[in-house]
Structure formats: structure tokens, C-alpha cells
Amino acid sequence: MAETTLRNVRGPAALDPAARRWKRISPRLVPLFAVVTALIVSMLFMMVVKFATTGSVDVGGQLNTTGTAYSALIEGSIGVVVNEALTPNSLNLAKTYVAGTELSPREANVAARTAADVGALGIDTAIRYGEVLERRASLTDDELATLGGAIPDIQRIGEERLLAMQPLLAELDALESDAVSALIEDTAELGTLTAEARATIEAAAPAAKDLSDTDLLAAMRAIQGANLNAVQKWAEQLDVLSAQELSSTSPDAQDIAAIQAIGFEDVREQAAFAENIQALGILDPLALSSQLRIANDLYDSELLTGENVAQGLSSELEPMLQNTLVILRPNNQILFARSASAVGLIYAEDKTPDDPSDDNRPEVAYLRLGNSALLFFPANLENMLIRSIPFIIAGLAVALGFKAGLFNIGAEGQLYIAGVLAAWVGFSPIFADLSPWIHVPLVIVAGILGGLVWGGIPGLLKAYTGAHEVINTIMLNFIAVLLADWLIKSTDPVILLDPAASIPRTPYLVDAAKLPTFASIPPVLFVLAGIIVLALGLWRRRAALRQDTRAAIRPIVYGMLTGVAGFFLTWISTRGALHIGLLLMIFAVWFTGWYLNRTTPGFELRTVGANPDAARYAGMNVPLNIFLAMALSGALAGLAGAIEIAGVQFAMQPGLYFGVGFDAIAVALLARTNPRNMIPAGLLWGALLAGAGLMQTRAEISIDLVKIIQALIIMFIAADAIIRFLWRVPEASAEEKEATLMASTGWGG
């Protein structure tokens, strides 16, 4: 009775609705949780590194840096970011500084640089440096420069020791330079001064007798490290310090050394500037610098036209902002739209949509959000999509092998062979006169065949000799990479090398062999594609339509989405680089899912992966399916290689696909080997790579952070028990465990 009660309490009936819903939904979100956890752990990792290197960590500052890094990562990948909009109060410090002056925009820009220097130095430090120069007005700038340059060396050697060295320096100065060099060579390698070395020095310079072994050796090493004249000048500066009632360690002496590194005129200018802004109540010179630069940019963009900055900011700024949206970008850059609308587009060089010279491809789309603006940069999304295509298709190739219980670790080699063949078909004179309708498919087919053959080789070895596919594909990777390297770099004879190129590569593909871009597709074709999708959907649902006309809703929606998607892809092709390889990628994902789940060969392939013995008992040809799985996996990798050649690079060169094949394994694992999940997994991978450069620039964080994030994602996907524990996700279902088992059986032979 007690056992039954306990089972009932723990059973599903005891769970509240929210818990039941979480139990149903959360397993699907494990990859997403892995990504979020990786981002959080990366942030903590940066804090630990900061603490290890500096001994302390500013948690607030580190969180701000991380936020900047991740914001830049998002902007650099999908092109979305929120920036502040300029308001009349945004330039209050600049207004205060220029009030009552006739500062020109050029002079304001100079003042901005000075303000930045003062901000880096600190207002108090800048003023103190100015006071030091006033107290030492008896010295010329040249004398101060000589003293400032000598102070660190005087402090390093020691004033008393340098003073005691002066007689020795005078006697050494009277000797021939060769004799001094010989004495230095005799003592250069000595850890301690020997009696023989001392005797030699004393014979040449009797003043050495008054120095201890330590001081004498220090003197000889100082001369060796600089030269005799330099050490003499340091010693002479002792008299200057004494006349100024200073020592090398006194605060004024240290400040003189610091000022010398900056420049005396610059320091005087910065000190005067610091006193001025302090009197005006401006305590943040960096913010002032930023505002002055923005004001200068407003003049450069002709948004302000007043005779001086004070007039422009006081009388023109507010009226201008009523009709113009000015968006503040990082590094004191601005974007502006001459419109008061809440939603709009910003064109290159402030072009407007009705400008006949415009190609109707905006650089930025914006949405006003109070004192901020949500921005979308289509070019960034375009770049991310292009970067993602090879990862999605190559990940699909690895996943197909997983479904058959095989680990295709040779996608990299298959990419190289496909790239070589695709490039050759694309530039070879044999195919030079072909129509694009024939030449482009021929390039793609050549890549597919290259990958199919290179994937089929380990498939045959595995199927009919039992040779492990992991070892074979790794070895074939080396063969493919080095073979491609030799074919391209060979000069005697020249095989694939373009002799006119500045780097080793093949000749460029002819135009007829390049994949068309969305920018080159007539809009009517997108309308036609939508109509075809609508017609096919209605035809498939013709039986349901006879009973209920609402069955037409889904085909209509799909048709409209197809047309809209085409126009959207054309619209974001601001660089005209997004090619129809994107459509080939979508087709490859659909075809792989359909083949695996809707066809008899696909069912046999999955059965062989799940249980080869059961498949053999059921009459399935296990060796044939193993070969077929590896060959098809290679064909998909070949498709990825051909698309990259025909759509992006237009030539093959050594090292082109470095790392792509191994990243494909990570993408396949992130997608849980499910073809439907391959697109978001590949897009994430492409987004991380596309946004890494902007992240490094904005947050000053090494680009290697992206690799750390990628490694953590894969670790959490592989060890999903960690994610399930942290996010309270139920234990993996039997289906999930089966998929994991199929992905790992390749290791077991």
C-alpha cells in the first residue's frame, strides 16, 4: 500500500500543469540551453582570466565588457543592434564648453583630441603636471627632456652608486674606445668580479680602486648596456637634480620623467585645458571628447551649418533633431535619416528611395524606440548566411553517416576533392562555351561526384574489409589536402595553378560557371515560385478542399511566404553576394530528411545504424548500406565544397576549407543529427564566425573567445547530463538515447 502511494505521488499526476509542460518542452531545448550555458561560462571564464592576470576583477566593468562583446557578436552576425539616438541633451557638455566662444568645427575636433588625452591622463594629473612645469620654469624644455630621459636610468643604477662612478667614468673617457670595449668584454659574462678582472680595470683606470666589486661590476654593465657617453650624461644630470633640490625618486622628478614621454608642449596644452574644463564644472573629459567629435560629424554631414559650434549647438541642434533622426554609433560615429518617421531606411550617402541613382538596397533599416533606435544592417545578415551554408551542408553530411552508425570524420578531405573538381570544371577551356544553364549544374555535379567518390572509398573498406571508417577518413583527409596542394602549386608541370596569380590558386571560374545571386534574379520569378508552391499545396489538399475550403489557408500562407522570402533575400543582398546556394542548401536539408524518413533505402540505412545484426536478419544488405551511407555523406560534403567554389571563392586555393570539415562534426552534434535542426545549428555556427571580428574590435576581446564558446557548446552537447541538471530537464528519452547511440557506434567498429 505504501509503495503504491509513493508511486502515485511521484507519477505524472502529481506534477502541476507547469511542470508537465516543462517536462514535455524542455528536452527539445537542450541545444539552446547548451548555447546559453556556454555564453555564461565564457563570461565567467573571462572574469577568472582577468583575476589571474591582474589580481582583481571589476565585476560591473566585466559584465559591461561582456555585454558589449555579445552585442557586437549579434550585430556582426544577424545585423541587429540597439543604439542611442541623439537628443538635445546629449551634447550638454559640448554646449557648456563652447558657450561664449567662436570655436570652429575644426577647432572643436582639435579640442576633442585634447579632451581625450586629458581623459586618459586624468584631470588632476594633467593639472599637476602643469604645476610641475611652472615650478621648474628655470629649465628649458631641452634641459627638462634630458633630465626626464635620464631619471629612470639614474633611479635604476642608484644616485650614490652613480656619483661614486664619476671618477671612473672620467678616466675611462680618456682611454681609446677599443680599450674600453676590451675591458667591457672581459667583464660582460662574469657573475661576480674576479681578482684578475679587477686588476685589469684598475691598471687602465686607477679610480676603480675606490669602488667595491659590486659597484665596479655594476658600472661596467651599465656602460655595456648603453654606452660610456650615455652613462656620463646620466651622472651629469645628478648635478641638475641637486640644483633643483630633487632626487630621482621625488614626486616632481617622477612627473618630469612622465612628462618627457608625453611632450612638454602637449602637457602644457593639456594642463590648461584641464584647468578650463574644471572651472566650467566638466569632470568627464572623455564624454566631452565624444560630444565634440559628434558635433564635428554633424558639421561634416551638413546637419549643422552655423558659423561656429556654439551657434550651431544652441540654435540649430534642436530644430534639426525634430526632422532628422541621428543615431549614435560606437567610436563616435553617427548615422542619420532625414525623416521624422518612426520606421525607415537609411541609404548610402544619404540617398533617398526616390533617387534615380539608388539601387533600392538600403544600408540600414531602423525603428525608433524612444531615445534609442533598433537598427538592422542587411549586409551583416547576408554575410552570415553565406558563411553558414557550407557548415549546414557539411554538418548534414556528417549527420547522414551518424544515422548509419558511421563516423564520417573525412568531410574535410571530401570538401577539398570537390573543390578541386568544381574549380577545374569551372575554368577549364573544355567547358568554356557552355551555357550557364548547363555549366553551373555541371560544376555542382562535379563537386558532388568528387565528394561521393572520396566518401565511398572508406565506405567500401568498411563494408567489405571491416577497416575502421574513422581511421580511413582521417588518412584520406591528409591525402586530399596534400593532393589539392600539389595540384595547385605544381609548376613543372603546371596542372591547376594560375601563373598570373599573386598567390597559389587556380584560375577564376568563368562567369557562366558562377552561381547566380539573388540580386540578379528578376522579381517575377519569386512571384512565380509563390504561385507554384500555392498550386502544389492546393493540388495535394484537393480532397480536403471539397469538404472544407479552409484547407486552402495553409497552401496560401506557404505560397505567400515563398514569394516574400524571395523578395527579402533580394533586399538583404546589399553587396550582391548572396547566391542561390542557399536554395540548394535548403533542398539538401529537405531531401536528406525525406530520404531518411520517407524512403525504403533510408529506412534500411537507419536500421543498419541502429542494429546491423537485426538488419541482416531482416534480409537487408548491410555492406551495401554502409557503402551507400558513406558515399551519400561524401556527396553532401562535395555539394558544400562546390557551392563554396561556385558561389563565394570562384577559385580553389590550398587551405581553403581548413577546419570546415571538423566544424561540421560540431554542427551535426549540435543538431542532434536531425536534418531539420541542421539549419539553426549551422546558422549559429556561421553567426559566431561572422560576428567574431566585430566583437574583437568593439570589446577588445580576442577573437579566440568564439572558439572557446564553440568548444563549450560541443562539450555541453556531448555531456548533456550537465545541462539537464542545471536546467532541470528530464532524463533523455529512449528515442534521444537511440540517436546518441547511433552517433557513437562508429567508434566501436
Q: Give me the pLDDT at residue 358, please.
A: 45
Q: Give me the pLDDT at residue 382, please.
A: 95
Q: Are residues 562 and 687 in the same domain?
A: no
Please, are residues 673 and 742 in contact by the beta-carbon 8 Å criterion? yes
Tell me whether residue 51 is in a domain: no
Q: Which of 253, 279, 305 lies at the terminal end of a domain, its last residue? A: 279
* Alpha helix segments (H runs only) across 404-492: 411-427, 436-465, 469-489
Tell me whether residue 174 is in a domain: yes
Q: Are residues 468 and 612 in the same domain?
A: yes
Q: Which of 227, 245, 279 lies at the terminal end of a domain, its last residue? A: 279
Q: Are residues 538 and 484 in the same domain?
A: no
Report pTM: 0.83
Taking the C-alpha atoms of residue 629 and residue 452, their distance in angstroms, rounded to an integer, is 10
Tell me whether residue 364 is in a domain: no
Q: Is 517 helix (H, G, I), strand (E, B) or coil?
A: strand
Q: Are residues 565 and 605 in the same domain?
A: no
Which range of residues forms the domain containing residue 251?
111-279
Nearest by Cα to 685 from 652, 662, 653: 662
Q: Are residues 563 and 671 in the same domain?
A: no
Neighbour count for residue 679 (Cβ, 10 Å): 17
Q: Which of 248, 279, 310 lies at the terminal end of a domain, its last residue? A: 279
Tell me whether residue 71 is in a domain: no
Taking the C-alpha atoms of residue 730 and residue 197, their distance in angstroms, rounded to an integer, is 80
Tell me whether residue 668 is in a domain: yes
Tell me whether residue 135 is in a domain: yes
Q: Are residues 543 and 448 in the same domain?
A: no
Q: Are residues 524 and 623 in the same domain?
A: no
* Sign of the torsion angle spanned by Cα atoms 673, 678, 683, 689: positive
Tell me whether residue 290 is in a domain: no
Would you give the DSSP letter of residue 373?
A: E
Q: Give me the pLDDT at residue 372, please.
A: 93
Supply the Cα-derived Rg of the chain in whole angstroms. 36
Q: Are residues 398 and 492 in the same domain?
A: yes
Tell me whether residue 188 is in a domain: yes
Please, are residues 447 and 588 in contact by the beta-carbon 8 Å criterion? no
Q: Give me the pLDDT at residue 355, please.
A: 45
For residue 581 the three cell numbers come to: 546556394
CA torsion, ordered 221, 225, 227, 233, to nearest 10 deg:
-90
Report the CATH number at residue 579. 1.10.3470
Q: Are residues 566 and 578 in the same domain?
A: no
Q: Are residues 613 and 701 in the same domain?
A: yes
In terms of phi and psi (left: phi > 0; alpha: psi -120 to 50; beta: otherwise), the region of 361 is beta
Measured between alpha carbons, how far is residue 716 from residues 27, 33, 451, 475 in Å? 14, 9, 31, 29
Q: Are residues 469 and 536 in the same domain?
A: no
State how many domains the chain has.
3
Q: Are residues 180 and 262 in the same domain?
A: yes
Q: Give me the pLDDT at residue 4, please.
A: 46
For residue 117 the three cell numbers come to: 588625452
Give the type of residue at 121.
L
The DSSP H or E segment spanning 390 is: helix 378-403
Nearest by Cα to 397 from 414, 418, 384: 414
Measured between alpha carbons, how far is residue 637 from residues 450, 463, 491 in Å? 9, 20, 29
Cα atoms found within 13 Å of the Cα of residue 653, Cβ hemisphere only? 14
639614474: which residue's cell?
Answer: 154
Taking the C-alpha atoms of residue 532 and residue 251, their distance in angstroms, rounded to an integer, is 82
Strand partners, 624: none
Please, are residues 94 and 292 in contact by the beta-carbon 8 Å criterion? yes
Please, are residues 22 and 728 in contact by the beta-carbon 8 Å criterion? yes
Q: Which segments in the chain show pLDDT lower than 50? A: 1-13, 350-358, 748-749
Phi, psi of 329, rounded to the nearest 5 degrees: -105, 160
Q: Give me the pLDDT at residue 8, please.
A: 44
